[in-house]
Amino acid sequence: MEGLDAASIVPLYKQLKNLILKDIKEGRYKPNQKIPTEKDFSELYQISRMTVRKALEQLVEEEVLAKKQGKGTFVQEPKIVEDLDNANSFTNLCKRNGKVPGGRTLRFMLAEPSDRDVKELKLEPGEQVIHVQRLRTADNVPVMLENLYFPGHLKNILTENLNDTSLYQILQDKYGLRDEDFIMEIEMSECNNYEASLLEIKSGSPLILVRELIYDQYDHPLHRTKSLLRGDKIKYISSRLNKTKS
């Protein structure tokens, strides 16, 4: 076993950090695997628990490890990163993150609109809504349950091939989708039994709930979405650098 060198100028906590990082990199600790406790490390390397705690805390802060209350410390799989400023299709998201996108369409049908549909999509009296529900996977792991609602008068959408890549492209090509016009909400939610079974997590698990209202080039509502994302799998980033102040 590789040990720590108390005589080194590299602090002990940093040596331990490096050892753990190496063990993860070389696959001795695998993603989602539980690592030894503070006490285990302290006994194993004959160092104080304070030193171990400092190493583990920094690795948690750097999102290499994750603490789960009452369960221990685990190797954290890097989350899929969605760029809020360039978000468009799930396929592109997966590609940018080196994952293979997949999924299946669960619903693709005309349905009675909810009051939210009527209001946000500005439906005419009696107009139905086109509901598309898709389960999206990254490397075969379900990460998002996506719901799209289109105004019923866009009924040609029902004749489209809902292949992963194509919907976004179709909306651009045929339905006047303009990327930059939207209203988005991001919040936390709890999943119900149906969502839990599809996303392969426990009922009541926390989810990221994203709602969008997307406009076409004439500023008409094109569709609204309600996406439920696994919070343990996806995170959002946004950045503004070197722009002139408005």
Instruction: Using CB under 8 A, list all residues that contact a copy of itself.
Output: 14, 17, 57-58, 61-62, 67-70, 79, 84, 114-116, 178-188, 190-193, 203-204, 206, 208, 215, 219, 226, 231-232, 234-246
Closer CB to a copy of itself, residue 84 or residue 109? 84
d(CA 217, CA 201): 38
162-to-25, 52, 103, 148, 200 alpha-carbon distances in Å: 39, 51, 11, 12, 23
d(CA 181, CA 192): 31
Q: How far is the CB of 160 from a copy of itself (least distance, A)?
A: 23
Count, residues in the chain: 246
- Pairing assessment for the beta strands 221-230 and 206-216 based on DSSP bridges: antiparallel
Closer CB to a copy of itself, residue 94 or residue 214? 214
Q: How far is the CB of 114 from a copy of itself (least distance, A)?
A: 5
Q: How far is the CB of 13 from a copy of itself (least distance, A)?
A: 10
Q: How far is the CB of 29 from a copy of itself (least distance, A)?
A: 19
Closer CB to a copy of itself, residue 103 or residue 113? 113
How many Cβ atoms are within 10 Å of 195's Cβ, its own excluded? 18
Closer CB to a copy of itself, residue 14 or residue 99? 14
Work out the burial of residue 103: count CB atoms within 10 Å of its CB; fewer than 13 is exposed, 13-18 middle, 19 or more buried. Answer: buried
Closer CB to a copy of itself, residue 168 or residue 236? 236
Using alpha carbons, select from 229, 225, 90 the residue that is nearest to residue 149.
225
Q: How far is the CB of 178 from a copy of itself (least distance, A)?
A: 6
Structural tokens at position 117: 């549909």
